[in-house]
Amino acid sequence: MSRRLITDGELRGLWNRAPFSELTVEADAILTPSARDFLLEHRIALKKGDPTMTVTPIPERGGEKRYVEAATGRELTEKPEDMTHLRGNLLVPKTHPRIAFRGRLDSLMAEIIAVQCAAADREDGEVAEQLEELLAFLRAILSAEVKEEPLGEVRLLGLDSAGLRRVSHHVKEEIGIPHPVPNYRMGPTAAALNRLRTQVRETELSAARAFETEAGCQRRDIVEALNRLSSAVYILLCRYLARRRT
């Protein structure tokens, strides 16, 4: 079962109906970065969830909030509109590579949901259900990035990291069809899966840029996970095309 993703839109809707000072969520719920920003700005405490997801209060001095500009260490009493939270009260520009990567993750999750809806409408329910596992995996990546925690072992579609790589490289032996050449004759579901594969690749590149340093990549686990996620989408595409042949 996938973990619930809480967005800032959902929180704003609740707030507009009735302001609140505490939010109670499931233990494994995941908050988007913008949702965490909302909680911080409105001093809302997160309760009864995973302790690591508890929002850190913004420090105050003399009744004023104290933010820190990450690039300079300069203290601020207000959060500028062109900046956002990297973590806690540490602010970076909204163009920061880490923030851009989080945006790519949000967009990719939205795309998966759109593909699921379209597949379900075309009675390709099996594809929609299989994508749910990939969606949950993306939410786990987002959580690991925001909390700056290790992602852990990659396992998708019943395959570990090595298995995903093997099957995606040996489609004929493992799935029974040649590597497909994308074209319009594949049909809308296959075309959507192929497009999704390319968007995972773009998200992987965004991650590589976000965590690139002179000493090397800071989050090889996330970059590798997205690489394997691309393999997983490709495997779904090949399996779908193989089923259509039977």
Summarize pLDDT for 181-209 with one digit per residue, the tens: 999 999 999 999 999 999 999 999 999 99
Q: Which residue has the tokens 């759109």?
A: 114
* Domains of the chain, first to last: 5-93 (no CATH), 97-245 (1.20.1200)
pTM: 0.73
Our CA dihedral for 106, 108, 114, 117, rounded to 10 degrees, sits at -100
Q: What is the pLDDT of residues 83-140, one digit of tens each?
A: 888 877 788 899 999 999 999 999 999 999 999 999 999 888 889 988 988 988 898 8
Considering the chain, what is the average pLDDT of its residues? 86
Q: What is the pLDDT of residues 4-24, one digit of tens each?
A: 667 777 788 778 777 888 888
b/e string for 59-97 if b means 16 or more Cβ within 10 A?
eeeeeebebbebeeeeeeeebeeebbbbeebebbeeebe
Task: State the pairing for strand pair 75-76/159-160.
Answer: unpaired
Kindly state the tokens that stand for 203: 């998200």
Q: What is the pLDDT of residues 138-154, one digit of tens each?
A: 988 988 898 888 888 88
